[in-house]
Amino acid sequence: MQSSSLSTIFTEIGKMESAVSTFETTQLPQIGKRIRDNRLSAGLNLHELARLSGISAPALSLIENGKRDLRLSSLFRIAGALRVEATTFLHDQAENPLTPDTQGGSGYNLGDYQ
């Protein structure tokens, strides 16, 4: 593999790591806040939502505070317990930081992987 190809790969990996870091620091807390807001609107405390969702109260607290990565299965269990669509917690995201930047025109060159 050529040096320029490795450089491109490392650049792309760096962009994805940055996007994941941004997601963890900005989006997870927003999703957690939406979960908390829905829980409070439903008149439930953490322990009641824990019983309804099958997720422990400490884990729910970490999720609501954006300190724990939320698994998809957990998202659906919480949504089911709160009687809302799972997308309710995701709807206000203006952009998806995990979407690759395709505006630069370069995209991915998978020719090196054939």
CA separation for the pair 24, 46 (Å, rounded): 22
Q: Which CATH superfamily is domain 28-90 in?
A: lambda repressor-like DNA-binding domains (1.10.260.40)
pLDDT digits (tens, 9 = 90+) for 19-36: 556 667 788 999 999 999
User: pLDDT tens for residues 72-104?
Assistant: 999 999 999 999 999 999 876 444 444 444 455
pLDDT the model gives residue 13: 74
Tokens standing for 106?
A: 């370069």
Domain extents for the chain? 28-90
- Alpha carbon separation from 110 to 5, 46, 99, 100 (Å, rounded): 11, 47, 17, 15
- Taking the C-alpha atoms of residue 17 and residue 77, their distance in angstroms, rounded to an integer, is 28
